[in-house]
Amino acid sequence: MPITFQEFLQQRGKANIQLSDSERDELYKEHRRLYFRERNKARTQSKKRIELWYSNNEYKELKKEAQQLEITVAQLLRDCIKGYREKRYVRSKDKGLQMVCFSLNKWGNLLNQLTYRANAFNTLSLSDIAELKKLFHRMNERIENELQFVPLEDLIRSEFEKNPRTLDHLETIINHLRQQAC
């Protein structure tokens, strides 16, 4: 599939021929139609569309949560699905954990940018290093302030109060682990 209109004209043998405006317009329309058909075909082969229906209130909650994390709603849903498949659970309602994850991502991004800059230009400014240190200290403060370690027994008791089936689920997990150990 030709990428540009000029390549399309060359493929049709009309690149060096003087064309009337109407002929040129028709060829351009044909080029755009073929271009978008091929582009959409390639896109549908590599990606699939999924639709989910939410109530307005549910969507507002998702959108608010995505804005807090500075990502799109689609990315939030992809991350949730990926976390579910990989059995990684993050309590999205826990603001402290969100802020720690946000700080960690921001620090990692800055570190990657500085690494690229150092490798590409063989130089780093003192302000870049100071910014990295500042973000690192802020991240450590958030971890210390927001995350608290909960004894396992207290966690199980609090989860059992919320959902009495928690013990059944834990028992299933323990039995499965025992079978694997034998």
- The model's pLDDT over 115-144, given as tens digits with 9 standing for 90+, comes to 888 888 888 888 888 888 888 888 777 777
Name the band, by pLDDT with cuts 50, 70 and 90, for residue 59. Answer: very high
Name the band, by pLDDT with cuts 50, 70 and 90, for residue 147. Answer: low
- Identify residue 162 by its one-letter amino acid code: K
pTM of the model: 0.33
Quote the CA–CA distance of 71 and 93 in Å, as a whole number: 16
User: What tokens appear for 150 in the block?
Assistant: 């909960």
Res 55 pLDDT > 70: yes
The answer to whether the beta carbons of residues 169 and 162 sit under 8 Å apart is: no
- Identify residue 126 by its one-letter amino acid code: L
DSSP per-residue codes, 74-86? HHHHHHHHHHHHT
Report the length, in residues, of the chain: 182
